[in-house]
């Protein structure tokens, strides 16, 4: 009895001329009196393997009745296929139905909208598009780790439950074991000192603050984990749970930060072209016609850098009409970001040195006293994909900033300590992993690049 091999290997010709065993799910079936053809997919690659079954098989009638979606095991000889469009096929000696599927299986042959497929998120990984998306996602995640491993960055697991709101935007989900109907009160307020952590805790919005502590010991570190934001924005680019990659480097300034971000982004573009060719060809043909050329261009280009002030000037001079106002001191909206990267630059651009009022407390104050050493990387179609900065390493300046924006220093005594002893200029950034996958695949909704999206009012599966 041959051991099972994956369809990817069979389609590469492994076992050609010999008996092999494959297992997978039926994508399509065409059955006639003389022969039945089953297209089988096991998730290992985009293409299906064609199974040819003939009436001499004892259970031929049963094979002809197999439904789309059924799980089957096939033993047979791998041969060169006479048909066009595939190199190899398997001539079945035995077809065993492992798990049947009837006509009520929702993923029958016809094309479905992404919206419909979201309503069957438990089944959509078995479709062509989502098979490709999640293979790319997995491969790119591994490339992320490889990139940092090759450069000596320490991988640190920062906590998911935390008592500090890194971005200070008040978007933390609460973590509590208090009875919501009757929480303990102290002077009319909920008494969190009696909660599980004896403090108001939540799900992390970023691993940065803890990452900074590790950078002050290991020099170069990164985190790659889930982050949570109770942002009530129902957009194609926001999720309540998303994954973020956050490197942090000691002895580094904003320009070193931008250089790392560029090298990283280009590395991942190159990776997806080299390692995910078949899936990328699908996206290029069916999802986003110019995708491969665009990713190729980004992989080979050096990124532009533009001061926030110049960005505002360019936007003010733009002939297009924006929905949101443009003015020095206001944050850039997606429409502005896309205009800058798509129309002005025609490629990725770092916008740097934003007004302090629209950025987080930890960013390093520039000498002009108005702007901070922030950088956002903007890319076509997505807008902001990376947010980063040089950090304020001067204790008194940091304390001043915290007071200015109303961040309570008591809860962050440990963060301030990192500026007390052996403080270094340091910098880092956060890359939203889903936005990266959107950019690399051409998928336009964040809900379609994360297995089970969490967005306002949606956490069913």
Residues that bind ligand 4AD (CB under 6 A): 166-167, 206, 208, 229, 231, 238-239, 242, 244, 246, 384-389, 428-430, 432, 434-435, 446
Closer CB to Mg ion, 117 or 374, in the complex: 374
Least distance to ligand 4AD, CB of residue 395, Å: 20
Closer CB to ligand 4AD, 222 or 283, in the complex: 222
206 contact, one of Mg ion, ligand 4AD, none, CB 5-8 Å limit per kind = ligand 4AD
Least distance to ligand 4AD, CB of residue 390, Å: 10
Query: Residue 281's Cα: distance from chain center in Å?
Result: 20
Nearest residue to the partner Mg ion, using Cβ: 387
Least distance to Mg ion, CB of residue 387, Å: 3
Least distance to ligand 4AD, CB of residue 254, Å: 11
Locate 256 and state its tokens: 């070193």
208 contact, one of ligand 4AD, Mg ion, none, CB 5-8 Å limit per kind = ligand 4AD
Query: Exposed, middle or buried: residue 79 (CB in 10 Å: 0-12, 13-18, 19+)?
Result: middle
Residue in the structure block whose two tokens are 């992320």: 144
Least distance to ligand 4AD, CB of residue 389, Å: 6
Closer CB to ligand 4AD, 66 or 221, in the complex: 221
Least distance to ligand 4AD, CB of residue 272, Å: 17
Q: What is the CA radius of gyration of the chain?
A: 26
Least distance to ligand 4AD, CB of residue 122, Å: 22
Closer CB to ligand 4AD, 288 or 331, in the complex: 331
Alpha-carbon gap, residue 87 to 14, rounded angstroms: 12
Closer CB to ligand 4AD, 127 or 389, in the complex: 389
386 contact, one of Mg ion, ligand 4AD, none, CB 5-8 Å limit per kind = ligand 4AD
Residue in the structure block whose two tokens are 């009196």: 33
Closer CB to ligand 4AD, 131 or 387, in the complex: 387
Alpha-carbon gap, residue 118 to 402, rounded angstroms: 42
Closer CB to ligand 4AD, 45 or 349, in the complex: 349
Least distance to ligand 4AD, CB of residue 327, Å: 21
239 contact, one of ligand 4AD, Mg ion, none, CB 5-8 Å limit per kind = ligand 4AD
Closer CB to ligand 4AD, 57 or 256, in the complex: 256
Least distance to ligand 4AD, CB of residue 425, Å: 15
Residue in the structure block whose two tokens are 């957009």: 235
Least distance to ligand 4AD, CB of residue 92, Å: 46
Residues near Mg ion (CB under 5 A) are 387
Closer CB to ligand 4AD, 231 or 253, in the complex: 231
Closer CB to ligand 4AD, 229 or 294, in the complex: 229
């Amino acid at each position: 009895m041959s051991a099972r091999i994956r369809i990817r290997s069979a389609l590469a010709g492994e076992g050609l001329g010999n008996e092999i065993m494959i297992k997978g799910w039926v994508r399509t079936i065409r059955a006639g009196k003389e022969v039945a053809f089953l297209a089988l997919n096991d998730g290992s690659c985009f293409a299906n393997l064609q199974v040819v079954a003939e009436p001499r098989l004892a259970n031929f009638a049963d094979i002809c009745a197999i439904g789309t979606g059924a799980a089957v095991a096939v033993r047979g000889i791998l041969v060169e296929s006479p048909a066009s469009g595939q190199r190899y096929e398997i001539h079945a000696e035995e077809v065993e139905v492992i798990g049947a599927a009837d006509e009520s299986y929702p993923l029958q042959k016809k094309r479905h909208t992404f919206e419909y497929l979201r309503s069957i998120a438990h089944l959509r990984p078995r479709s062509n598009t989502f098979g490709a998306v999640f293979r790319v996602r997995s491969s790119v995640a591994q490339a992320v780790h490889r990139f940092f491993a090759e450069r000596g960055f320490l991988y640190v697991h920062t906590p998911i439950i935390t008592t500090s709101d890194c971005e200070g935007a008040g978007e933390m989900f609460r973590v509590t074991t208090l009875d919501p109907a009757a929480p303990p009160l102290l002077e009319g307020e909920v008494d969190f000192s009696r909660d599980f952590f004896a403090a108001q805790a939540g799900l992390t919005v970023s691993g940065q603050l803890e990452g900074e502590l590790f950078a002050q010991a290991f020099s170069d570190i990164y985190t790659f984990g889930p982050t949570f934001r109770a942002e009530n924005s129902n957009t194609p680019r926001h999720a309540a749970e998303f994954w973020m990659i956050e490197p942090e480097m000691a002895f580094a300034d904003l320009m070193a930060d931008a250089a790392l971000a560029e090298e990283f982004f280009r590395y991942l573009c190159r990776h997806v072209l080299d390692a995910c060719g078949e899936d990328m060809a699908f996206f290029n043909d069916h999802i986003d016609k110019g995708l491969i050329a665009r990713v190729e261009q980004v992989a080979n280009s050096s990124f532009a850098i533009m001061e926030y002030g110049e960005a505002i000037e360019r936007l003010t001079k733009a002939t297009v009409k924006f929905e949101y106002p443009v003015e020095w001191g206001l944050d850039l909206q997606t429409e502005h970001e896309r205009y800058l990267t798509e129309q002005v630059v025609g490629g990725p651009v770092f916008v740097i040195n934003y007004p302090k009022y629209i950025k987080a407390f930890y960013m390093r104050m520039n000498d002009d006293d108005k702007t901070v050493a922030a950088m956002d990387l903007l890319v076509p179609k997505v807008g902001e994909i990376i947010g980063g900065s040089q950090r304020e390493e001067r204790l008194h300046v940091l304390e001043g900033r915290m007071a200015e924006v109303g961040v309570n220093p008591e809860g962050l005594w440990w963060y301030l300590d990192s500026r007390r002893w052996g403080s270094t200029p340091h910098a880092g950034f956060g890359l939203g992993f889903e936005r990266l996958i959107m950019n690399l695949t051409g998928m336009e909704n964040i809900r379609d690049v994360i297995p089970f999206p969490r967005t306002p009012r949606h956490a069913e599966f």
